[in-house]
Amino acid sequence: MNGGAASTLLDVLLGAAREAPGQTVVHVRGDGTEHTVTFAELRDDALRVAGALIAAGVTPGTPLPLVTDWGDAFQPLFWGALAAGAVPVPLAPEPRRIGPVWELLGRPPVAVNGATASVVAETDGAIRVWGLDTLRAGAPPRDLPRPAPRDVAFLQYSSGSTGAPKGVELTHACVLANLRQISAAMAITADDVIATWMPYFHDMGLIGTHLVPMAARLKQVRIEPLSFAKRPALWSRPPPATARPSSRPRTSPSTSGCAASRPPLSPASTSAPYASCSSAPSPSRRASGGSSPPGRRPPGSTRAPRCRCTAWPRPRSP
């Protein structure tokens, strides 16, 4: 994996845009058309979003729910939130899943794209939304907040289908360790291409099919999940013409939603119940790569060596 010197998750995007500015993420629409974004374009877009968030009063550590229906809308919001020092919280665009998490987080503003603003409004009319189009008009900040490796990079929430949604803190060090592990297990090379239809509010969709290839400077081809559900044949169509013949992904349908020119992610890398981070090759670990500061681990949370898995929000002191 490239970017070995990265100490925060944002370093992954900044390094990828610097070392491979012309590498691309191809977003395949339901009608088969494509929207291609280079790493450099994604970085510039994210920095404009970051500038707007900072101007709006976002401070380091602020949780920011992200509700989008397109991958090319999610990516600049996710990276822009990181660049602003916020803690992105990817959520499915469904009112029954947005509402409980919004309440748990203390009713913060929610970042949306045009199509999901109505979904958020349906959840609760009191939710303040920040639209992507407006955020994209921001000016890139001169100075970016610099979190510590043990600080929380983003929150990953369970679906809440069998109970209250459960949030897991994933630290920068945790995620970076997991990216290195997955890249090594897959024996990724610069000639590989990652193709996927998995949603980014899913941990494997975000970590396995966006963050890993970004860290490895790989081409990404993404079909929107709903488009794949409606037209599964999109999965087996020829890769974009811009792909080199030697770097074409396998296009057989996969239950993991990911195809590559290497074997799929191993179970040890992806079967963690809530967070796909592990500092050792054991599927029982839930999160790793950074340790909690003294006194910050809530009662009842679990922790493996150099690992943190905690509930969010943290229990208040009596």
Work out the pLDDT band at 158, boundaries 50, 70, 90. confident
Domain boundaries, the chain: 9-148+193-263
CATH topology of domain 9-148+193-263: Rossmann fold (3.40.50)
The tokens for 7 are 């100490």
pTM over 0.95: no
Q: What is the pLDDT of residue 288?
A: 33
Q: What is the pLDDT of residue 189?
A: 86
Q: What is the pLDDT of residue 310?
A: 40
Structure-model confidence comparison of residues 30 and 306, the more confident one: 30
Kind of pairing between the strands at 63-67 and 110-112 = parallel
Length reported for the chain? 318
Kindly tell me the burial class for residue 292, based on how many C-beta atoms sit within 10 Å of its own C-beta (0-12, 13-18, 19 or more): middle
Mean pLDDT calculated for residue range 74-102: 95
Q: What is the pLDDT of residues 284-294, one digit of tens each?
A: 233 333 333 33
Work out the pLDDT band at 224, boundaries 50, 70, 90. confident
Work out the pLDDT band at 238, boundaries 50, 70, 90. low
The tokens for 304 are 């493996």
235 φ, ψ to 5°? -65, -35
Rounded Cα distance, 41 and 20, in Å: 11
Instruction: Please provide the distance, in angstroms rounded to a whole number, between the alpha carbons at the two ends of the chain.
Output: 45
Q: What is the pLDDT of residue 229?
A: 79
The tokens for 108 are 């913060």
